């Protein structure tokens, strides 16, 4: 398709919306992003850019910038709290690695690239509905409407309000905080480290590099918390939390002392990707899940790149949407299923599942073939998603 003739309206300036907008605009399309925020800004702390997401950023010419900001991750390692028993051991292999990056750093890189490519932003634009058709539009709070486009994209994340009842929240969320990385501390600068107590408590430390030039190296500290316990946690106060942290993982007490944690809640859903004629969902609006497998941001990048290659190889928008779904559906189905199955082993009230995890599953993950399979699963590369989208 000729991109110069395309007129695209995107609701949501998150990872999926921004990367799609940049790639479209750089190819000549007219792109407007509508976001509810008063100014575009990131939500959340840090995450691991896997080789899949890195391949998309490389295609966009932005990988070097992301790598400069982030921290190389070559191992993910988890132990039972208070013991030396390893129950999670994932390596990337010799030639591959993840890049742990602060959300604000990736957001800045994507936003700058989108502006440079000519994307227009409309802020304080809260979408409430979409009107399908040959020239679909986004209806906004206060009676505003987007321009009539050739294609409308719902990139509004897991809480997208469009045309559905939101999926129920998962029982567990987590406190997330970005804290200074302790130089010469007990943590490895290239590893995600986790501790578990049954499946009801999980804590983690991830080095995430710098947000901007000259700012200090940081870490993301996370602490799982049942959503129904959030008020009790708040009223108990910081001293009580620090006491819990000291019992579970004493080395992380300095993080809890400094943290200004935000409580994140998760949903699991796979919605219909096509929400109406010429209306497409990408990223978490299509498929949201707990961050247990750490794929969401990478999936949003893959969705965006897949739509681009599909448009490049199709004669009409309808053909492009069909090709895009063919390229992405299997990978999404597989990861949604895996995440749904695995999350309760790490985040639930079950007493049986963590025992199965520690006694039956953990030892098998040390077998050479299993190690390879698990490595491919966690890096997002199972079923070759990058090849599938023809990047």
Residues that bind ligand FAD (CB under 6 A): 11-17, 34-37, 44, 47-48, 126-127, 155-157, 159, 161, 174, 176, 264, 283-285, 291, 294-298, 300
Q: Please say which residue, 291 or 354, places its beta carbon nearer to ligand FAD.
A: 291
- Choose between 220 and 309: whose C-beta lies nearer to ligand FAD: 220
Q: How far is the CB of 23 from ligand FAD (least distance, A)?
A: 14
| Number of Cβ within a 10 Å radius of residue 6 | 20
> CB of residue 227 vs ligand FAD: minimum separation in angstroms?
13
**What is the distance, to the nearest Å, from the Cα of residue 193 to the centroid of all Cα atoms in its chain?**
18
Min separation Cβ 18 and ligand FAD, Å: 7
Nearest approach in angstroms of CB 57 to ligand FAD is 12
Q: C-beta of 103: minimal distance to ligand FAD in Å?
A: 7
Cβ nearer to ligand FAD, comparing 14 with 354: 14
Output 122 or 319, the one with its CB closest to ligand FAD: 122
Residue number with CB closer to ligand FAD (1 or 111): 111
Alpha-carbon distance of 218 to 88, in angstroms, equals 24
CA gap 196, 210 in Å, rounded = 27
Nearer to ligand FAD, 107 or 249 (CB): 107
How far is 174 from 272, CA to CA, in rounded Å? 27
281 Cβ neighbours under 8 A, 6+ residues apart: 153, 154, 155, 160, 162, 271, 272, 273, 274, 275
Between CA 157 and CA 141 the distance in angstroms is 18
Contacts of 56 (CB under 8 A, 6+ apart): 19, 301, 302, 304, 305, 386, 391
- How near is the Cβ of 346 to ligand FAD at its closest, in Å? 13
Q: How far is the CB of 126 from ligand FAD (least distance, A)?
A: 4
What token pair was written down for 10? 């995107």
Give me the DSSP letters along 102-117: EHHHHHHHHHHHHHHH
Q: Which is nearer to ligand FAD, 1 or 12 (CB)?
A: 12
Output the DSSP codes for 75-105. Answer: EEEEEETTS--EEEEEE--SS--EEEEEHHH
């Amino acid at each position: 398709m000729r991109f110069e003739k395309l007129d695209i309206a995107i609701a949501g300036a998150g990872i999926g919306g921004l990367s799609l907008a940049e790639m479209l605009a750089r190819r000549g399309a007219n792109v407007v992003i509508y976001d509810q925020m008063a100014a575009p800004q990131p939500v959340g702390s840090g995450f691991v850019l896997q080789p899949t997401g890195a391949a998309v950023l490389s295609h966009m010419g932005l990988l070097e910038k992301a790598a400069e900001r982030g921290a190389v991750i070559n191992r993910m390692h988890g132990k039972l709290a208070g013991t030396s028993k390893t129950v999670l051991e994932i390596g990337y292999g010799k030639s591959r690695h993840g890049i742990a990056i602060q959300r604000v750093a990736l957001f800045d890189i994507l936003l700058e690239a989108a502006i440079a490519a000519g994307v227009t932003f409309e802020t304080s634009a809260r979408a409430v509905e979409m009107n399908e058709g040959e020239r679909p539009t986004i209806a906004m709070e206060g009676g505003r409407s987007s321009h009539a486009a050739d294609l409308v994209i719902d990139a509004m994340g897991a809480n997208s309000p469009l045309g559905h009842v939101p999926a129920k929240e998962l029982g567990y969320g987590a406190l997330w905080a970005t804290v200074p990385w302790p130089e010469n501390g007990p943590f490895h600068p290239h590893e995600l480290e986790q501790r578990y107590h049954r499946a009801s408590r999980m804590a983690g430390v991830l080095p995430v590099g710098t947000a901007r030039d000259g700012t200090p190296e940081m870490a993301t500290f996370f602490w799982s918390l049942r959503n129904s316990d959030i008020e009790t946690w708040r009223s108990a106060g910081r001293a009580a939390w620090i006491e819990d942290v000291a019992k579970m993982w004493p080395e992380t007490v300095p993080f809890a002392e400094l943290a200004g944690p935000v409580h994140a809640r998760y949903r699991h859903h796979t919605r219909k990707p096509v929400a109406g004629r010429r209306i497409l969902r990408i990223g978490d609006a299509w498929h949201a899940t707990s961050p247990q497998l750490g794929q969401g941001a990478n999936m949003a990048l893959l969705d965006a790149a897949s739509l681009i290659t599909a448009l490049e190889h199709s004669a009409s928008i309808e053909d492009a949407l069909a090709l895009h779904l063919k390229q992405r559906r299997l990978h999404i189905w597989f990861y949604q299923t895996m995440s749904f199955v695995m999350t309760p082993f790490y985040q639930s009230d079950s007493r049986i599942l963590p025992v199965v995890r520690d006694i039956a599953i953990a030892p098998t993950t040390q077998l050479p073939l299993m190690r390879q399979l698990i490595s491919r699963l966690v890096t997002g590369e199972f079923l070759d998603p990058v090849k599938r989208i023809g990047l």
